[in-house]
């Protein structure tokens, strides 16, 4: 047995026999699905707050019984570039939060309440990004599974009761706090955009000089981050990209990384405001308050320029790609739902799901490779001892009522 976050993986030992009763026991309280772990058939159990829950539930099947063996987690090695890519959103939020505090400090120096409001409002948005922008791998996976399930239902695919996708969509084992966290994680960029709309408006109101520089900078910031929040992040489909015109290709690239708009607009905001400060300094028109606030303003610009550059290279999905086990689990859960489809529509459903999975950031491979992986996972069900032979038969040979009657 192996515990990873709120997930536990059970793997049968040699000659374990039929373990379908073990799976049935767990299915009453947890989300379970067949998967492949370290190249062998396994059972994924999610929504586990403590591995001792599994031991209490199964008793001798886990503790002291050789039916299920302990397997050790295998951590993937990541280089420095991968770590930066995976954590750029959190680094951006940290630098931005520093800039927000400096905005508030400048507001106190100038006695400008609108400027204090800018910093406070931006700080709320950046704090939300920092707290919810990079969920743990198991939470990210569960969120992704719910999205996949919603897409399947849009396509008219009936997700079977008892499947892992159905259980995740129903939020099994999720309490009120978990559901609130899920909502925050799935809408983190909307909260970020809202903070920019309010803060950007206060930024415009805070400038009493009558200059257009702050108005332009504020509108850039609002437009950039609102656009980033409204555009759904998608991987580029190589086939569509090849056939697209130059404008469509440009939009596809933006879809692949929507935060390039918000981060880019933020960099533009910093440059416009920075240029206005340089112009004021070189002209010698600095008041005493301007001179007091200048070091803070320089610090604010430096911190936010760094933050917005990092935002521009970040993903709205929270950073780098998914690890190989998460990808395998996602394919396995898709296979579990698709294997239960009537035979005459199953292959077409697999193709459609593979096509949609191919647009999800972080998943590897094109739709052809994903389709092959799903078919391999369906085949692996026949070798998974957590599923009885009659269940496998119903998975892989089910007919729709209409097809059965026509024969």
Domain range annotation of the chain:
2-75+322-406, 88-312
Chain centroid offset of residue 288 CA: 48
Query: What pLDDT was estimated at residue 268?
Result: 92
Residue 11 main-chain phi, psi, to 5 deg: -125, 130
pLDDT higher than 50, residue 319: no
Q: How many CB atoms lie within 10 A of CB 74?
A: 11
Query: What pLDDT was estimated at residue 174?
Result: 61
pLDDT band at 125 (very low <50, low <70, confident <90, very high): very high
Query: What pLDDT was estimated at residue 324?
Result: 66
pLDDT higher than 80, residue 151: yes
d(CA 96, CA 265): 14
Q: Torsion angle of alpha carbons 323, 178, 91, 103, nearest 10°?
A: 160
Q: pTM for this one?
A: 0.66
- Tens digits of residue pLDDT in 245-277: 999 899 989 988 899 999 999 999 999 888 888
Strand partners, 31: 46
**Region 380-404 average pLDDT:** 56
**Region 165-186 average pLDDT:** 74
pLDDT higher than 70, residue 215: yes
pLDDT band at 407 (very low <50, low <70, confident <90, very high): very low
Say if CB 221 and CB 270 are below 8 A apart: no
Q: How many CB atoms lie within 10 A of CB 163?
A: 22
Taken in order 180, 186, 191, 194, the sign of the CA dihedral is negative
361 closest CA partner among 334, 327, 312: 327
182 closest CA partner among 138, 212, 226, 224: 138
Say if CB 4 and CB 74 are below 8 A apart: no
Residues 6+ apart with CB under 8 A from 317: 140, 233, 361, 362
């Amino acid at each position: 047995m192996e515990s990873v976050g709120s997930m536990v993986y059970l793997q049968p030992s040699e000659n374990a026999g039929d373990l379908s009763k073990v799976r049935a026991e767990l299915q009453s309280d947890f989300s379970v699905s067949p998967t492949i772990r370290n190249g062998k058939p396994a059972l994924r159990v999610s929504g586990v707050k403590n591995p001792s829950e599994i031991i209490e539930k199964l008793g001798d099947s886990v503790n002291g019984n050789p039916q299920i063996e302990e397997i050790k987690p295998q951590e993937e090695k990541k280089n420095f570039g991968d770590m930066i890519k995976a954590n750029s959103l959190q680094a951006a939020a940290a630098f931005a939060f520093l800039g927000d505090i400096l905005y508030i400090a400048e507001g106190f120096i100038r006695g400008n309440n609108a400027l204090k409001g800018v910093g406070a409002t931006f700080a709320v948005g950046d704090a939300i990004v920092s707290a919810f922008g990079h969920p743990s791998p198991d939470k990210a996976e569960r969120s992704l599974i719910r999205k996949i399930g919603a897409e399947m239902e849009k396509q008219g695919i009936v997700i079977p009761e008892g499947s892992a996708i159905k259980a995740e969509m129903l939020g099994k084992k999720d309490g009120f706090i978990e559901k609130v966290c899920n909502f925050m994680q799935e809408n983190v960029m909307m909260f970020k955009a809202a903070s920019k709309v309010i803060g950007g408006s206060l930024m415009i109101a805070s400038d009493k000089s009558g200059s257009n520089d702050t108005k332009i900078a504020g509108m850039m910031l609002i437009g950039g981050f609102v656009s980033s929040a409204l555009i759904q992040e998608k991987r580029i489909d190589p086939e569509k990209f090849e056939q697209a015109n130059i404008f469509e290709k440009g939009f596809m690239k933006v879809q692949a990384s929507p935060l390039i708009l918000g981060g880019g607009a933020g960099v533009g905001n910093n440059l416009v405001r920075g240029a206005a400060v340089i112009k004021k300094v070189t002209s010698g028109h600095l008041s005493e308050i301007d001179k007091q606030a200048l070091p803070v303003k320089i610090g604010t610009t430096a911190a936010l320029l760094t933050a917005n550059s990092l935002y521009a290279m970040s993903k709205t999905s929270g950073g780098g790609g998914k690890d190989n086990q998460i990808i395998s689990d996602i394919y396995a859960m898709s296979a579990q739902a698709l294997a239960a489809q009537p035979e005459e529509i199953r292959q077409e459903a697999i193709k459609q799901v593979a096509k949609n999975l191919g647009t999800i950031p972080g998943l590897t491979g094109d739709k052809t490779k994903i389709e092959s992986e799903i078919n391999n996972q369906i085949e692996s069900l026949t070798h998974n001892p957590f599923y009885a032979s009659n269940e496998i038969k119903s998975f892989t040979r089910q007919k729709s009522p209409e097809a059965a009657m026509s024969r």
